[in-house]
Amino acid sequence: MSFLLIDEHKLAKQVIQNIEQNEIAIAVANLRQQAKTSDDLPPAWLLHTADALENNDWSILSEGFINLDFIGKNGYFSIVAPYRINRQGQGHVALSAIYGKMHGNQEPSIDQLEHLSRENFGTLGQPISRNLSFTEIASCGNVSGENGEAFIVPNGWLFPNSICGPALNNASQQQRRFLGSSRECIQAIFEPTTANLLLDPLEDDINSDRYRHIDTQVHEAGHASGLGFNLKIEQNLFQNYTYAGIEEWRADSLGFEFAASILPAQEAGKLIAVNFCIRFGLDAHRLGGMEDVDVYASLISLEHLFQNEAIYVTKNGQLALHNLSYPGLLQAVELHRTQALTLTRKELKLKHLAGFFYLYQIDIHPSTQSIFQGLIIDRCQGIWSQLQ
């Protein structure tokens, strides 16, 4: 059995290599061979993938992706399809492939989060997207490496209705990024005690993957709340980086609210630490600068921290939290939570969708923007330039 598993891994990796080298016909043949012999990958999904590649018809994969038919009985999965990423305000599409194994994370439950959303807003804009964390075995294209996506959003896949499928959180890539540049950035941006508080949950060998998983799952619950992310995409409401950035910040902040409802303050605070490490240690340094969606979301988060008087600049020119505890981190995002709740309730009361553009406006104080540029972006430029 172990030899069969080794052979399966080898053939699955070979398909990834075929895609990377644009050997489409060979990849199709290998996928069909896999379908005959694989015990860990679903044969029907592999055959559908081969057909989609051969005919350049990606609609074949839609139903299976939404229904999670791409995952085998032991958690192994493979996806091959065009995937779109946004960099410097531009969309880039590449045929991409990922082979990995899903984790068994099941908390919090989707039912629990959907109940919380209805409890807060009286309705749920859409079903909450399931977040699936996985360990990567091989990858290529826009879902691979430092310049690819570690959090693979469903609507990035270019087949119909992909937005209704799961988000995929690449724990392997997240950990690689954290152990390198992201951790260095957090240590450069924040004074040592604050930096240690933020980094400790991600340095927890036992729980770090769990914290990342819950953070992304409550974030997805935030997107589903209100009018719902899907409707906003369908109605082209994210017409520039500011609207999309506010949506990302709103999803973060509602995620904090949901975490506070389902977890003790100590644990909820650790999720916020994980979020800050991602936003300030990774997202703030994307190549698009201030006009990148995730950079702008990070800037909005910093603005609310200052407004909430939760953070200050030390004499050494580093950022520091006033309350150095995980319950204190939960208090630090109190304004995030209340403002996001208010924004979401207002969007549900819109009589015309055109009002969305007036509603989704957040003023950033010039001093916040200056601090963000100087103490976050510029300070880490040398760290990130080593990777680019």
pLDDT, one tens digit per residue, over 126-172 is: 999 888 989 899 999 998 866 667 789 898 999 988 988 998 988 87
Q: How far apart are CA 320 and CA 36, in angstroms?
A: 58
Domain count of the fold of the chain: 2
Q: If pLDDT is split at 50, 70 and 90, which confidence band does 388 have? A: very low
Average pLDDT, the chain: 90
Among the three residues 147, 165, 183, which one is the final residue of a domain in this structure? 165
Among the three residues 110, 145, 165, which one is the final residue of a domain in this structure? 165
Angle at 194 between CA 192 and CA 198, to 5 degrees: 115
> Is the pLDDT at 83 greater than 90, yes or no?
yes
CB 62 within 8 A of CB 161: yes
Q: Specify whether the backbone of 149 is left (phi greater than 0), alpha (psi in -120 to 50) or beta.
A: beta
**Alpha-carbon distance values, 160 to 59, 109, 123, 155, 156 (Å):** 6, 26, 26, 9, 11
Based on the fold, state whether residues 311 and 345 are members of the same structural domain. yes
8 is in which domain, residue-wise? 1-102+131-165
In-domain check, residue 170: no
Based on the fold, state whether residues 55 and 193 are members of the same structural domain. no
Burial of 194 (0-12, 13-18, 19+ CB in 10 A): buried
Based on the fold, state whether residues 140 and 229 are members of the same structural domain. no
CB 103 within 8 A of CB 209: yes
The runs of H, that is alpha helices, within the chain are 2-20, 24-37, 43-55, 62-66, 110-121, 171-177, 183-189, 192-199, 208-224, 229-234, 241-262, 265-281, 293-307, 326-332, 334-348, 355-359, 366-371, 381-385
In-domain check, residue 117: no
> Is the pLDDT at 297 greater than 80, yes or no?
yes
Q: How far apart are CA 337 and CA 253, in angstroms?
A: 5
Based on the fold, state whether residues 202 and 150 are members of the same structural domain. no
> Is the pLDDT at 387 greater than 50, yes or no?
no
Q: What are phi and psi of 314, to 5 degrees?
A: -80, 170
> What pLDDT, on a 0 to 100 scale, did the predictor assign at position 107?
75
Q: How far apart are CA 385 and CA 379, in angstroms?
A: 11
In-domain check, residue 126: no
> Is the pLDDT at 6 greater than 60, yes or no?
no
In-domain check, residue 36: yes
> What pLDDT, on a 0 to 100 scale, did the predictor assign at position 7?
72
Based on the fold, state whether residues 74 and 180 are members of the same structural domain. no
> Is the pLDDT at 238 greater than 70, yes or no?
yes
Share of the chain above pLDDT 70, in %: 95
pLDDT, one tens digit per residue, over 181-219 is: 888 999 999 999 999 999 999 988 888 888 988 998 999
Q: Which CATH number do you get for residue 49?
A: 3.30.540
Q: Which residues contact 55 (CB under 8 A, 6 or more apart)?
A: none
The pTM assigned to this predicted structure is 0.84
Based on the fold, state whether residues 153 and 196 are members of the same structural domain. no
Tokens 């749920």, located at residue: 124
pLDDT, one tens digit per residue, over 330-374 is: 999 999 999 999 999 999 999 999 999 999 999 999 999 999 999
Based on the fold, state whether residues 192 and 310 are members of the same structural domain. yes
Based on the fold, state whether residues 377 and 263 are members of the same structural domain. yes
> Is the pLDDT at 1 greater than 80, yes or no?
no
The number of beta carbons lying within 10 Å of the beta carbon of residue 184 is 16
Among the three residues 123, 141, 165, which one is the final residue of a domain in this structure? 165
SS3 call for 355: helix
Based on the fold, state whether residues 318 and 291 are members of the same structural domain. yes
In-domain check, residue 215: yes
Based on the fold, state whether residues 225 and 328 are members of the same structural domain. yes
Prior bond of 108 cis (ω within 30°): yes
Sign of the torsion formed by the C-alpha atoms of 227, 229, 232 and 237: positive
In-domain check, residue 286: yes
Burial of 73 (0-12, 13-18, 19+ CB in 10 A): exposed
In-domain check, residue 348: yes
Q: Which residues contact 213 (CB under 8 A, 6 or more apart)?
A: 103, 105, 107, 131, 133, 169, 171
Q: Which residues contact 91 (CB under 8 A, 6 or more apart)?
A: 84, 85
> Is the pLDDT at 3 greater than 60, yes or no?
no
pLDDT, one tens digit per residue, over 300-335 is: 999 999 999 999 999 999 999 999 999 999 999 999
In-domain check, residue 17: yes
Based on the fold, state whether residues 180 and 161 are members of the same structural domain. no
Based on the fold, state whether residues 223 and 313 are members of the same structural domain. yes
**Which tokens go with 153?**
């959003």
Q: Average of pLDDT values for 36-56?
A: 92
Angle at 208 between CA 206 and CA 210, to 5 degrees: 90
